[in-house]
Every structure is written in structure tokens, then in C-alpha cells.
Structure 1
């Protein structure tokens, strides 16, 4: 029988890892299946652009994986049973025309279901707020913003990268709207002094109002209520106050952190179930600086490369390399013509040097194009001879060299 590898999720982490595994492993003795809820690859880092009214050309996952040997299953994951090595799915469709409830068995599982918006149980967020953590939610926000007339008010909640990029994108695309951002702390507090000044100049140039040291404790249809009782007008509230992972991992019996992320070792292997790996936002992984990796596209890149390399090494009896888990900087878009590239040290503290303006914007555009290109070409550099599996199974069910 072929060794069955199932990858849950086809975001930046899952799609890249699946392509990497297909590039390295021989289809003669491995079968790779990717399970994803939607047929397109979602460029999550560009969803604020989509919401602002810009058109992004979608990439069909069927086209991405064409010719790779990867089997695509369009389905929503409803449960994982690591003891039985099975995944429960619903709405399964694919090239074989399956449908309804279903179950997939695996020998090795790569869990890469990503994250969604963290609502923090704030009243009204689920009912009235919008977000840009998924394509469908970004399109819903796009439609609502298009309905706003001149003078309409938009409040972005959250001073992280997503909040900053969303606020500046909306303000640049719709100068007729009144855009504001609510920050629990100081805007850009983690940036160097020069980068922070650049950020504030960008906000001033775009006419964005900043409410610093303002926590939002309730969202209503036309306003948000701050912790001190202040009412902030908001025809549209965009919630970007952090990310949360799906509770499927915790419910499955896998060891998870308080955040619900799967606790993994240095190779992205589950500490509780060695035939399960995790990559992307759903992995609780420790970086080279001894701190947990933040939920981000950069982390998705690091962890997916490490997981694919570890799975390949263990299945073929080869070396398991250690991929670097180190950040070099933050790329922050400030609309289409401005950006900030902030270098950081080993402890992820901002260095004094930063790059801003159009040059930084071009750099950020290149990063986005590169990420998209790597997903669209999953088998680039395909070796002429793929690695075969070793023959002796170990106690975890992964075959290793005799």
C-alpha cells in the first residue's frame, strides 16, 4: 500500500508543503491528498485590497496541483481522530465526484487549517463587525464599503499589521470616507522611532483618525463603544484585533497550547502524536529566539518548509534538516504607493534602520508576488529522480531506513 499523506488546508502553509512533498517523494509509494474548503488559493495577505475594491485574479487549486500527483478534495474538515488516523469531512467534492459526509484515512497528517479572526467575546462583533481573514468575509466587506456614500465612517479595530494595512488601504481607495483606527496602545509602538514617524505621516496624509489607548468593548450597527464609554461613529466596523485557531485540534485530543495551537517539536511534529505535523498559524512552534512564532505568513513559510523537510527525511530514512525559524523584518503596506520595511534583531526588536516609501512598496509587492508564485509553481525544480520510501516501519507508523 502507498503511504497516505493528508494535508488539511491549502493556504500559504498547506499548499506550499503539499507541493514540496510532491516534488520530493516518489508517487510510486506515496499518495498526497489536500483537503480545502474552497476551490481557490486565497492570497490572505491581499484580502484588504480585495475588500477595498481591487480585483485579484484567483488561482484555482486544481490548476495549481495539476500534474503534481497531488489529489485535491474540496471539503470542510469537521473532526480529526488521531487514534484512528482519520479525518472527518463534509461536502466532499473532487475529480471523482464524491459528495456528502466522508472520512479520509492517513498515515501522516499535516494540519495546516490556519486561523480566523479572534472576536474575544466582545458583544456585537459576531453580529455587526467585518473582517479580512477570509475571501468570503473580505467580499462581504467589499460589498458593504461599496454601499457607503460620501462621508461614511469606517472604524478599524486593532493596531497590528492587518489593522494598519486595512486602514491605509481603505483610506487611499476611498478618500471620500472617514476612516479611523482604534488602538489599545500606541500606534506602531514596536517600530523604530523613524519608522513610527513615517507611519504617522502616512496616517496624516491619508486623513486617518487614530484613537490610541482605546479598547473597544462593544460593537453596534452604527458605532463602537470604547472601554471608557466613548462612542465612536462607525457605519462599518472592521475587526482586526488578533487571530484564533479552529477548536478542531483541541477537540481531537492532540496536545495544544492555551491558544488552541498544536504543540510541536523543532521539526513541526506533534508532541503527543508523532504521525501528525502542524504548520502555519495552527502550530505552536518555538522560534530560534526561544519564543513562540507569531501567527503570520512568514511563520507559515518557515513551518511549512520545516514540516515538509521533516516528513520527507523520516519517510525516506534521510537527514531531517533544521530550517531557520528567524525573523528578519516586517513588511507593512500603507496603500499601493507607500510601505515600511522594518528590520528586527534576533529578539524581534526593531533595529534603528528601516526602509520606507515607494521603494519599500515595491519590495512588499515583490514579496507578495514571490509568495504567490511559489504556490502557483509547487513543483518548480522538480528532481528527475524522486526519493523512495524506506522499508522498515517505526513505532509511529512512519517508515524509516533499516
Structure 2
């Protein structure tokens, strides 16, 4: 790997991390903690905003609940990593540069690509213009403002996946005077075991959520959604949670991507087409024995940690180790006082065991709590340690040097 000579004569290896989501923050804090004693390594984290977004809690923001304000510069404090705020507009893999919207150009020796994903509103006509999303805190606040102005009416949640379920339950509990309709091709909790799926459906029924399975939205109108069978469902607000898409920057940079535009990686999470680029989180197509990982915080943070360890090993003249990951659980909130947790096999298929009710609420709040304490522990760890997920929580483990 190449390096540069600083004004003071110190050889510095420049690592630029794009995206400060769960994966990007994990990579930045972990790598900075491991290399802060070495002046030859410079870690830069780039993000469009200086506030960390708890995406797992955006359904709460969408109903007007206030979450902790987490400052990215404060979270990086003491690590030695620097923060650059700005939208990334281009990556030049040949020149090894990143261009920011203000015209700033960052040079890198190693790039960590973690720009994540957003709701796939372009997939259906009208969704981009008329539907709300939970792609960012700002998007969630816009939905909260709309709901605040509604005294009655119908809210359509398009997409019966777990994000849609959590959002529908949260809105129905917070605003019982509104009619909440959950539309989707599949039954809510389709991948769960029968007990967990039945519990989820009963909770949605209790909250008054109207669930319609086998419904495919083909167009979003200003005041309705149109289904594939020609029916229109009136809506005073539409929340789009059906599918995600990633940034086109990886394709434009000439990196090898899969059919969804995610960077295809080798077993160490490096781009298969450029060894100077690593990919993490939703932006990466990471293949395991059971198939390609799907984008969740549960898998995103470990990819960030692993990339930090891999870069550190390479800088020390060692080979990076293969990334191995198995799923453990699927926690789903059903309003503030109810939840279901489906425990899974490593390939994400459901086990027979699940938690429901208050026990599930306590469990979910523990594993999806603010990441601040985890990042704080990362900053203080010894150089030979790393935080790795065990049983849904991060535990310090030691790595052979």
C-alpha cells in the first residue's frame, strides 16, 4: 500500500471512511483506537451530517418522540480520527480520491466504503414525490410533522417487512385516532416461527392496524395508493418502507458491484476489483456460506469492526483474516410496551425459541440501545482488543497479534 510524506517527515497512511452509520462509526472508532499511537496512520470519517442517526429508532422519531442528539465529532473525541462533514459526490478509484460537494478533494491510500442505503422510492411511480420515508432523521421528522397536522384520516404504510411493522405499530399506538393500513406482498413476520408470527399479528390487531397481505403498490398518488389489481386505497399520508437502494457512486467509480449496486467483496471485505477499497454495512455484498448477508445493524457493525482489524493487520505486514458472521436474533418493537424477539440460526432462519411482551421489550431495548457506550468502550480498549457481537451484544475479545 502506498503512503505519503508529511511536512514533519512522518510517513502517513491515509484511511478515508465514507459514511458514519453503524458500520462506518464502528470502523472509524475501532481503527483509530488501534492506530492512534502510530503517527503514520491518518483516519478520516466523512458524513453528510454531523449528527449520528439511530436508524433502528427512526420509527419513534416519526411519531414525534425525541431521541438523544448524538454528535459525531463528540463520539470521535479522543480517538485521533478527524471528521469531515459533506456529501460525497464522486470516488475516483484510479486517482484514489474522494470529492466532496464543497469542492474539497480527499486523497486516500485505503478507502472504506460504507455509504449505506435509503428507501427505494424510484422503484414505483409517485413514491419519490408523494411518500414519506425513514431514510434519515430529517425524513422521519417530516413524517412526524405531517402526522401532527392530522386530526383524523388514514396512514398507509407500504411494505410489510420489519421496518413497516414497527412503524405501523408505533403510529397506531401513538395516534389511535388515525386509521393505519399496512400493505405488503408478504404476511408480517413471514420469516418467523408460527408462534412469533401469530403474536405479531395479534399485536397489530390489538393496535387497530389493518393488515392487507398480497397487496402490491404500483403507484403513489397525492391522496392514495394504487394497487396492482386496480384498487385505490385512500391515504392522508404514505410511508414507504418497501425495499432499499444504495448509492450509485460505487458503480460510477468502476468498482465491481452486484445487481443491487452493492460492492462485491472478498472474504476479508475488500473489493474484488480494487484491493485498496473495503466495503461495509448495507453498501457491501458480503457472501457467507449461507448466502449474501442482508443489510441490518446486527451485521453492519461487525463488518465495520472487521475492516478496522483487517486494515490494522495489513499495515503491520500481516494478511487480513476472513470475515465470518452468523445471525442471532430478530427483535421487533410493537409500540412502546410490546415486542417480539425471534432467535435465529446463523443463516437467519428461525429457531423455535422467541420472546414476547415485556421480556421482549427489555431485551430489545438492551440490544438496540444508544451505541454511545459501545463506541466509548472501543475508544478505551487496548491495542490487542476488539469488540465483537456475542449473543446480540458487543463483547471485548482479544486478537492474536
- Fold-level match, TM-score > 0.5? yes
Equivalent residue runs for 1:208-219 within 5 Å: 208-219=209-220
Task: Determine helix, strand or coil for the equivalent of 1:48.
Answer: helix
Equivalent residue runs for 1:256-271 within 5 Å: 256-271=257-272
* C-alpha separation in 2, matches of 1:166 and 1:375: 27
Q: Which residue, 41, 61, 65 being the options, matches 1:50?
A: 61
Matched, 1:189 2:190: yes
Task: Determine helix, strand or coil for the equivalent of 1:2.
Answer: strand
> Cα gap change, 1:370/1:319 in structure 2, threshold over 3 Å: closer, same or farther?
farther
* C-alpha separation in 2, matches of 1:57 and 1:329: 25
The answer to which of 244-253 and 340-349 deviates more is 340-349
- Residue 296 of structure 1 and its aligned partner are, at CA, apart by 1.1
- Residue 136 of structure 1 and its aligned partner are, at CA, apart by 1.2
Task: Determine helix, strand or coil for the equivalent of 2:342.
Answer: strand
* C-alpha separation in 2, matches of 1:174 and 1:55: 16
Matched, 1:156 2:157: yes
User: After TM superposition, what 4+ stretches of structure 1 lie above 6 angstroms from structure 2?
Assistant: none
State the match for 2:301 in structure 1: 301
State the match for 1:325 in structure 2: 325
- Residue 251 of structure 1 and its aligned partner are, at CA, apart by 0.7
* C-alpha separation in 2, matches of 1:43 and 1:79: 26
- Residue 61 of structure 1 and its aligned partner are, at CA, apart by 0.9
* C-alpha separation in 2, matches of 1:382 and 1:43: 27
State the match for 1:201 in structure 2: 202
* C-alpha separation in 1, matches of 2:384 and 2:342: 40
* C-alpha separation in 2, matches of 1:360 and 1:301: 22
State the match for 1:393 in structure 2: none
* C-alpha separation in 2, matches of 1:128 and 1:135: 18
Q: Which residue, 10, 16, 27 being the options, matches 2:20?
A: 10
Task: Determine helix, strand or coil for the equivalent of 1:363.
Answer: helix
- Residue 30 of structure 1 and its aligned partner are, at CA, apart by 0.4
- Residue 352 of structure 1 and its aligned partner are, at CA, apart by 1.9
* C-alpha separation in 1, matches of 2:62 and 2:298: 22
Q: Which residue, 145, 148, 168 being the options, matches 2:147?
A: 145
Task: Determine helix, strand or coil for the equivalent of 1:224.
Answer: strand
Task: Determine helix, strand or coil for the equivalent of 2:23.
Answer: helix
State the match for 1:396 in structure 2: none
Deviations 1:200-253 (A, max 9, x none): 110111000011100001111111111101111210000000111010101110
- Residue 308 of structure 1 and its aligned partner are, at CA, apart by 1.2
- Residue 302 of structure 1 and its aligned partner are, at CA, apart by 2.3
* C-alpha separation in 1, matches of 2:122 and 2:385: 50
Task: Determine helix, strand or coil for the equivalent of 2:219.
Answer: strand
State the match for 1:121 in structure 2: 123
State the match for 2:342 in structure 1: 342
- Residue 316 of structure 1 and its aligned partner are, at CA, apart by 1.1
State the match for 2:87 in structure 1: 76
State the match for 1:28 in structure 2: 39
Task: Determine helix, strand or coil for the equivalent of 1:265.
Answer: coil
- Residue 377 of structure 1 and its aligned partner are, at CA, apart by 4.9
* C-alpha separation in 1, matches of 2:335 and 2:322: 36
The answer to which of 204-213 and 301-310 deviates more is 301-310
Deviations 1:120-179 (A, max 9, x none): 531110110001111111111111111111x22101011111111111111111111111
State the match for 2:391 in structure 1: none
* C-alpha separation in 2, matches of 1:162 and 1:377: 29
- Residue 34 of structure 1 and its aligned partner are, at CA, apart by 0.6
Q: What is the aligned length? A: 376
> In 2, are the aligned partners of 1:41 and 1:61 still within 8 Å (CA)?
yes
> Cα gap change, 1:376/1:40 in structure 2, threshold over 3 Å: closer, same or farther?
farther
